[in-house]
Amino acid sequence: MRILSGIQPTGEMHIGNYLGAWKRLVELQTSNECFYMIADLHALTVPQKANELAQATLQKAVELLSIGIDPEHSTLFVQSHVSAHTELAWILNTLTPLGELERMTQFKEKSKKYRANINAGLLDYPVLQAADILLYLPDGVPVGKDQIQHVELTRELAKRFNATYGAIFKEPKALVAKEEEGAKIMSLKDPKKKMSKSDPPDTWIGIFEDEGIIKRKIASATTDSGKDVAYNPAKKPGISNLLTIYSLVAEQPIRAVEKKFQKKGYAPFKKAVAELLISKLRPLRSEKKQLESREVYLREILRQGAKKANAVASRTMEEARRKVGFLQI
């Protein structure tokens, strides 16, 4: 299958991003044609400093390569390096009723969070996202449950364009991971809330964090009353979150992890979670350290990625222009 996914450049990747999505995306590249995009245009919906955005974009490339994205098997590129994204987004805008965008769940949530900066880009984000996807004619888009609504809008816009101007676009499927593969990692301090890098640092664990900090954060993670290491998200959300983390990192079923730590108590279990995380993340941190000193190499990977992405996107865009009726040069 051809697959497309993206990630914004701002903020350090945390274990929620990695275990819930990118670990799977690394695995998908071995048997699929994958396009992985650093979405710097989307990052502009909140204020950015120019020099920091450029550096964050390069840093995100380092992170993705460090976790195993392989430019020999995947196309890694920066969104703004392919101008067709914004061109197609404008065309799709003319097919998108305003009411549909105002009903998008993420727009409602972000409007509450960023009351001082409810810009048009925040509203229009899903249309640009649809353009991101449709340009590459993918079969599937790996997403979490919170992004299914955006993929459904993408499918609807593909239908509308095809019906209005003539068939070009595929209607990509939302590839939602099985529950055990893409389980949500929750906040270490509020385990009823999804882990987010926009929250205070002690609520999440960056995958490249210092080992001492990882130990401290796990040790201070919120748990629950009682002593049993048992999975029950409703009654024991804190310990259930740590069980989920251990299960995904160790690649063992939660029931097997429960059995392993039966009657051992919270402190030994937390120590084991920290040690396992540190062991698994250590090679990624080592790889990141090496890549950070190879800027020329990194820029060449992104240049080649942009070349490959443009080759596909420009063919799609040329056909879209012809279907719409734009005068050809």
Alpha-carbon distance 69 to 74, whole Å? 7
3-state secondary structure (DSSP) of residue 71 = coil
State both tokens at 22: 């990118």
- Total residue count of the chain as it appears in this document: 329
- CA distances for 35 relative to 79, 172, 256, angstroms: 11, 14, 35
Q: Distance between CA atoms of 119 and 173, rounded to whole angstroms?
A: 29
Distances in whole angstroms, Cα of residue 204 to Cα of each of 23, 78, 139, 194, 274? 17, 26, 33, 10, 13
Burial readout 258-287 (b: 16 or more C-beta within 10 A, e: otherwise): beebeeeebeebbebbbeebbebbeebbeb
Catalytic residue from among 60, 110, 217, 236? 110
Q: Which two tokens stand for residue 80?
A: 């703004």
Q: Catalytic residue among 197, 215, 264, 323, which?
A: 197
145 is catalytic: no
Let me know if 307 is a catalytic residue. no
Torsional sign, CA 91, 36, 4, 203: negative
- Say which DSSP state 166 is in: -
β partners of residue 35: 4, 75
**194 part of the active site:** yes
Cα-based distances in Å from 58 to 54, 61, 62, 259: 7, 5, 7, 43
- Which among 194, 264, 271, 308 is annotated as catalytic? 194
Q: What amino acid positions are annotated as catalytic residues?
A: 110, 194, 197
